[in-house]
Structure 1
Amino acid sequence: MTLSKQLMALIAALLLLVFLGTFLISVHNTRDYLEKQLESHAQDAATSLGLSISPYLAERDLATITSMTDAIFDRGFYRSIRIEDMQGKPLVDRVLPVQLEGVPEWFIDALPLTTPEGTAALMDGWVQRGQVLVRSHPGYAYRQLWQNIAGMLRWFLVSAAIALLIGVLLLKRVLRPLKSVEGQADAICNREFPILEPLPRTPDIRRIVEAMNRMSAKVRQMLDELERLAAGFRRQAYQHPVTGLANKRFFMDLLVNQIDSTEEFSHGLLCLVQLKDFKRYNDERGYSAGDALLEAAARELEKVSKQWPRSQLAHLAGADFALLVEECADDQVVPLAEQLVAALAGLYATGKLDNPDVGHVGIGWFDGRQSASELLAEADMALRSAQRQGANGWHFSRLDATEVVRVRGAAEWREFIGEAVERDRIRLQYQPVVACGDRQLLHQEVLVRIPQDLENPDHSRLLTAGLFMPQVESLGMAVDIDKAVISRLLRQLRDSADEQTRYAVNLSLQSISTDGFVEWLSGQLAEHRDHASRLIFELPEYGVVSFIDRVTALLGLLAGYGAKLSIDHFGRSFSSLAYLRSLKVDYLKIDGSFMRSIEENSDNQFFVQALAEIAHGLEIVVIAEAVETESVWKILPSLHVDGAQGYFIGRPE
């Protein structure tokens, strides 16, 4: 029961108690008064009648005595009048039966009225000849008592209703700040920190509101400080101090992680960009001018990087930059190289250089087989070849090798993927995500597969998402794949005896940015409402930041069906952590690049722990990706990570 209801119940109880006390006292006093009135009325009548008939009794004039007695009795105010001689023999005896109209029997039984008998002596001189006995009729007294009590009850009910109404209005006004405090507490739990104004006038409630305001401000300050600390550390540990781009350590961890993640990265390009004669530029113009040149180069290269959604730009050291572009096709090498060369030319146009020969670009091809060091060596050789070609040259190096899968053109890929969707050849595999410590299953991540041979799918090799999803996205068919995966998963949940396990499904950014997809998803969740709460939808961090409005709308939709939202590969970008407050996601998956040898990397440990503390303050579950070794698994609980996923935990099945 709420405080307002408790107070209203207390007020009602007090009013009832006061009424009952007043009512009982009033009833008792009224009954005593009426009984005394009945006694006085009977005694007065007996005395008056006795004086009137005494002379006639001495003369034995019974007719006159009877007439005078009847004259009084017929008025109806008396229950009985009896005139008797000294031997008790009745001379006149009149009795009126007690008949009460308009008064309930239960009332008469509950409040009986005594009717005292009035007596008067009949005298003949100094000799008593008899006596008069009179009892008043209680009917009028009962009627008056009933009317008084009924009127009192009506007045109480009306006044109580008015008092309760006024009390409710006053309580609502007085307790309104408490409702606001409740909303403030809920807002704090939802990662919002409002300050209540104006302050209430009631001193006690005012102090409560002031205390809540201080707490809200303090929690906000604590989270802000923790976010600034984590962001500051991330800048110091993973960003180049001059350009603000990812530094060499961050880039190498990311490169190694991506090369090992065949689910996501099957082929792509590594571009090395080097400014020409940067050391001489520093010597001639000073380090301040050199830093300004590096900043300008970083901004020009960022313009290129932003045109490739799945790319990572880094400042390795000195005048060396690197750009990793995932899932880049053969026919995109030349446009990318020309954009990078144009960026170098744009740097000359700023007027910071005297020589139009700004730098060179070396591009290495990743086909899914090289290690990180081999890919770097290949790109470095391409850079050396570009330097031999002349001003602002570029060179592309690709090792001769047989592709892992048969090469298909765009039209052939479109036909293959369309046929796989139409013939329901999409296959799902599942990788467990478990809680740190006890390995309790948190959920299963859904991984998408397509048989290489659609005619014989049960005996064909399965293509991983890293092999076909780049083609799917480039052809604009990601929505078809996402719909097929979600539909198939919901059917499996409907037919499965397991009613507990949750499943995480990756959504393409292309899907959530496509008109009509969210409406379709809403229809699917409504149709499978009983299983919708078991779904977790995952979006990559860079997509969440880029489509913040659409993600917010998606969150509202999922919340209505009990489904959850997770941010995947968190930490790859250097965006502010503040957006987590407004999004209210349920899961945060830390990118696997932070897990590589984390047991030996104190910087990564600090960042992961700080990120976990921030997420827990926002009620977000933190999960580590790419947990491949026991040593990494063992250190996660000390970093306050909630769960883990990776080959050490379990392979896709």
Structure 2
Amino acid sequence: MTLPKQLVTLIVTLLLLVFLGTFLVTVRNTRDYLEKQLESHAQDAATSLGLSISPYLGQMDLATVTSMTDAIFDRGFYRSIRIEDMQGKPLVDRVLPVQLEDVPEWFINMLPLTTPEGEAVLMDGWMQRGRVVISSHPGYAYRQLWQNVTDTLRWFLASTALALLVGVLLLKRVLRPLKSVEGQADAICNREFPILAPLPRTPDIRRIVEAINRMSAKVGQMLDELERLAAGFRQQAYQHPVTGLANKRFFMDLLVNQINSTEVFSRGVLCLVQLKDFKRYNDEQGYSAGDALLESTAGELEKVSKQWRRSQLAHLAGADFALLVEEGAGEQIAQLAEQLVVALTGLYSTGRLDDPDVGHIGIGYFDGCQSASELLAEADMALRIAQSKGANEWHLSRADELESGQVSGATEWREFIGMALERDCIQLLYQPVVSCSDGRLLHREVLVRIPQDLDNPEQGSLLTAGLFMPQAERLQLTAEIDKAVISQLLGRLQNSPDDRAHYAVNLSLHTITSAGFMEWLASKLAEHRALAQRLIFELPEYGVVSLLDKVMGMLELVSGFGAKLSIDHFGRSFSSLAYLRSIKIDYLKIDGSFMRSIDASRDNQFFVQALAEIAHGLEIVVIAEAVETESVWALLPALHVDGAQGYLIGRPE
């Protein structure tokens, strides 16, 4: 029961108690008073009648005695009048039954009035001839008592209604700040930190509001400080101090994680970009000019990187830059290389360089078979060959394999993916996500596969999403794939009533921006409203900030059906952590690049723990990806990580 209702109930109870006490006292006093009045009335009448009829009784003139008695009795104020001799023999006896039309019978039975008798002795000189006994009729007393009770009840009801009306209005006015405090508390839980103003006039409530305001400001300040601390540490540990790009350490951890994560990275290219004669430029122009050149180079390369959604740019050291792109069709590689060449030649047009030969590009192609060191070696060898070719040249390692058709072009991919959708060959695998505290199942992540041989889908190998999803994004087919996955999963859950687990479905950012997808998803969730509460939709972090409005719309849609939203691969970008407050997600999955060597990296441990503290302050569940060793698994509870996913926990099934 709410506080206003409790206070109103208390007021009504107190008013009832006061009325009941007042009512009982009033009724008792009124009844006592009326009984005394009846007694006095009867005694006065008996005395008066006795004096009047005594002479006639002495003469035994019973006719006159009777006439005088009837004259008094007929007035209707007496219940009985009895004239009797000294032996008790009645000479005149008159009785009027008690009949009241204006007073309910139940009231008379509930509050009976005693009618005391008044007596007077009839004298004849010094001799007693008889006596007169009179009792007053209680009708008037009952009417007066009934009128008193009903008037009291009416007054109580009217005063109670007025008191309640005034009390409720006053309570609403006095307690209105508490409603604002409730909204403020809910806002704090929703990662917002408002300050209530103006302050209420009631001293007690004013102190409560002031305390809540201080708490709101303090919690917001603590989260801001923690976010600044985490951001500052991340910048110091993972970003190059001159260009602000990812440094070599961060890039190498990311590269190793990507190569070991076939779910998200099965094909791609590694581009090594090196400025020519940068040491000589530094010596001749000075370090300030050298830093300015590096910043300009980073800016030009970032323009290229932003054109490739699945990419990571890094400043390795000195004049060396690296760009990892998770796409790999032959025409795409050539397009990427030409964009990098344009970026390099653009530096010459700024006037900073005297020589139009700015730098060179070496490209290593990843086909899912090399290790990180092997891929780096191939890209480095390609860079040396490019330097031997001439000014601003690029070279691709293993170009013969690409030209021989081992990498399909856009037309082949479109036909392959379209045929897989048409034949309903999309296959789902499930990988468990468990709690770090007790190992219980939190949910299962849905992983997508397509048979390599669509004519014999039950035979042969399966293609991972890391291989075909980049091509699907380029061909704008991700929405169709994601629709097929969601439909198949909902059908499976509908046909498995004993399965109560939750399932996480990965969605491409291309999907949520495609026309008609949101409407389709809304109708699908409405059709399966009971199952929608068991779904978690995951979006990759790399484009969330740039598509914040779309992500907010997605969150509003799925949360309306009880589903949840998660950010996947968190930590790859260097965007501000503050945006987590606005989107109010339910889960945050830390990228595996922080996990694979976290047991040996104090910096990674500090960053993950700080990130977990920030997320917990925003009521976000934190999950670690790529947990594949016992040492990492044992470390996660101390870092306040809630859940884990990886081959150590369970392989896709």
Deviation (angstroms), 1:130? 2.2
State the Cα deviation string for residues 89-113 of structure 1 (Å, max 9, x = none).
Answer: 2221111111122322222122111
In structure 1, what residue type is equivalent to 2:443?
H
- Mapped to 2, the partners of 1:515 and 1:143 lie a distance apart of 83
Deviation (angstroms), 1:125? 3.2
- Mapped to 1, the partners of 2:462 and 2:304 lie a distance apart of 35
Instruction: Give the aligned partner of residue 149 of structure 1.
Output: 149
- Mapped to 1, the partners of 2:278 and 2:111 lie a distance apart of 113
> Residues 386-425 of structure 1 correspond to what in structure 2 (within 5 A)?
386-398=386-398, 400-401=400-401, 407-425=407-425
User: Are the structure 2 counterparts of residues 554 and 220 from structure 1 closer, same or farther at C-alpha, using a change threshold of 3 Å?
Assistant: same
2:325 equivalent to 1:328: no
In structure 2, what residue type is equivalent to 1:413?
W
- Mapped to 2, the partners of 1:40 and 1:372 lie a distance apart of 118
Deviation (angstroms), 1:437? 4.5
- Mapped to 1, the partners of 2:466 and 2:594 lie a distance apart of 21
In structure 1, what residue type is equivalent to 2:619?
E
2:604 equivalent to 1:604: yes
**Equivalent pair of 2:330/2:409 in contact (CA under 8 Å):** no
Deviation (angstroms), 1:554? 1.4
Instruction: Give the aligned partner of residue 631 of structure 1.
Output: 631
> Residues 584-599 of structure 1 correspond to what in structure 2 (within 5 A)?
584-599=584-599
In structure 2, what residue type is equivalent to 1:319?
A
> Residues 69-148 of structure 1 correspond to what in structure 2 (within 5 A)?
69-148=69-148
Query: Which of 98-107 and 152-161 deviates more?
Result: 98-107
2:241 equivalent to 1:263: no
**Equivalent pair of 2:330/2:407 in contact (CA under 8 Å):** no
**Equivalent pair of 1:482/1:507 in contact (CA under 8 Å):** yes
Instruction: Give the aligned partner of residue 232 of structure 2.
Output: 232
Instruction: Give the aligned partner of residue 648 of structure 1.
Output: 648
User: Are the structure 2 counterparts of residues 473 and 63 from structure 1 closer, same or farther at C-alpha, using a change threshold of 3 Å?
Assistant: same
TM-score after normalising by structure 1: 0.97
2:533 equivalent to 1:533: yes
TM-score after normalising by structure 2: 0.97
Instruction: Give the aligned partner of residue 514 of structure 1.
Output: 514
- Mapped to 1, the partners of 2:32 and 2:347 lie a distance apart of 111
**SS of corresponding position for 2:545:** helix
**Equivalent pair of 2:266/2:464 in contact (CA under 8 Å):** no
User: Are the structure 2 counterparts of residues 404 and 472 from structure 1 closer, same or farther at C-alpha, using a change threshold of 3 Å?
Assistant: farther
Deviation (angstroms), 1:402? 8.6
Instruction: Give the aligned partner of residue 274 of structure 2.
Output: 274
In structure 2, what residue type is equivalent to 1:147?
Q
**SS of corresponding position for 1:647:** coil
- Mapped to 2, the partners of 1:201 and 1:548 lie a distance apart of 41
- Mapped to 2, the partners of 1:527 and 1:319 lie a distance apart of 57
2:302 equivalent to 1:297: no
- Mapped to 1, the partners of 2:384 and 2:414 lie a distance apart of 38
- Mapped to 2, the partners of 1:239 and 1:344 lie a distance apart of 22
State the Cα deviation string for residues 370-416 of structure 1 (Å, max 9, x = none).
Answer: 22122212222222222223332222222544999965443332222
State the Cα deviation string for residues 154-185 of structure 1 (Å, max 9, x = none).
Answer: 21112111111211111121112222222222
Instruction: Give the aligned partner of residue 248 of structure 1.
Output: 248
State the Cα deviation string for residues 548-581 of structure 1 (Å, max 9, x = none).
Answer: 1111121122222221111100000001111111
Tell me how large the CA RMSD over aligned residues is.
1.8
**Equivalent pair of 2:566/2:588 in contact (CA under 8 Å):** yes
Instruction: Give the aligned partner of residue 362 of structure 1.
Output: 362
In structure 2, what residue type is equivalent to 1:7?
L
Deviation (angstroms), 1:123? 2.6
**Equivalent pair of 1:367/1:403 in contact (CA under 8 Å):** no
Query: Which of 47-56 and 541-550 deviates more?
Result: 47-56
**SS of corresponding position for 1:307:** coil
Deviation (angstroms), 1:477? 0.9
> Residues 370-381 of structure 1 correspond to what in structure 2 (within 5 A)?
370-381=370-381
**SS of corresponding position for 1:568:** strand
Instruction: Give the aligned partner of residue 197 of structure 2.
Output: 197
**Equivalent pair of 2:328/2:407 in contact (CA under 8 Å):** no
**Equivalent pair of 2:328/2:365 in contact (CA under 8 Å):** no
In structure 2, what residue type is equivalent to 1:449?
R
**Equivalent pair of 1:47/1:119 in contact (CA under 8 Å):** yes
> Identity, % of aligned pairs?
79
**Equivalent pair of 2:80/2:93 in contact (CA under 8 Å):** yes
In structure 1, what residue type is equivalent to 2:232?
G
2:403 equivalent to 1:383: no
- Mapped to 1, the partners of 2:562 and 2:278 lie a distance apart of 57
Instruction: Give the aligned partner of residue 28 of structure 2.
Output: 28
> Residues 308-347 of structure 1 correspond to what in structure 2 (within 5 A)?
308-347=308-347
**Equivalent pair of 2:297/2:347 in contact (CA under 8 Å):** yes
Query: Which of 343-352 and 37-46 deviates more?
Result: 343-352
Instruction: Give the aligned partner of residue 286 of structure 1.
Output: 286
5+ residue gaps, structure 1, are none
Query: Which of 333-342 and 211-220 deviates more?
Result: 333-342
Instruction: Give the aligned partner of residue 620 of structure 1.
Output: 620
Instruction: Give the aligned partner of residue 218 of structure 1.
Output: 218
State the Cα deviation string for residues 468-514 of structure 1 (Å, max 9, x = none).
Answer: 11221111111110000000011111111433211111001111111
In structure 1, what residue type is equivalent to 2:636?
L
In structure 2, what residue type is equivalent to 1:575?
S
In structure 2, what residue type is equivalent to 1:136?
S
User: Are the structure 2 counterparts of residues 403 and 79 from structure 1 closer, same or farther at C-alpha, using a change threshold of 3 Å?
Assistant: farther
Deviation (angstroms), 1:233? 0.4
**Equivalent pair of 2:330/2:403 in contact (CA under 8 Å):** no
- Mapped to 2, the partners of 1:405 and 1:79 lie a distance apart of 126
In structure 2, what residue type is equivalent to 1:455?
D
- Mapped to 2, the partners of 1:339 and 1:163 lie a distance apart of 80
**Equivalent pair of 2:82/2:93 in contact (CA under 8 Å):** yes
**SS of corresponding position for 2:632:** helix
- Mapped to 1, the partners of 2:573 and 2:521 lie a distance apart of 28
Deviation (angstroms), 1:308? 0.8
2:187 equivalent to 1:187: yes
Deviation (angstroms), 1:460? 3.1
Query: Which of 278-287 and 423-432 deviates more?
Result: 278-287
5+ residue gaps, structure 2, are none
Instruction: Give the aligned partner of residue 473 of structure 1.
Output: 473
> Residues 565-584 of structure 1 correspond to what in structure 2 (within 5 A)?
565-584=565-584
State the Cα deviation string for residues 447-482 of structure 1 (Å, max 9, x = none).
Answer: 111112222212232111122112211111111100
Instruction: Give the aligned partner of residue 490 of structure 1.
Output: 490
State the Cα deviation string for residues 213-248 of structure 1 (Å, max 9, x = none).
Answer: 111111111111111111100000000011100001
**SS of corresponding position for 1:457:** coil
In structure 2, what residue type is equivalent to 1:452?
Q
- Large movers: runs of 4+ above 4 Å: 399-407
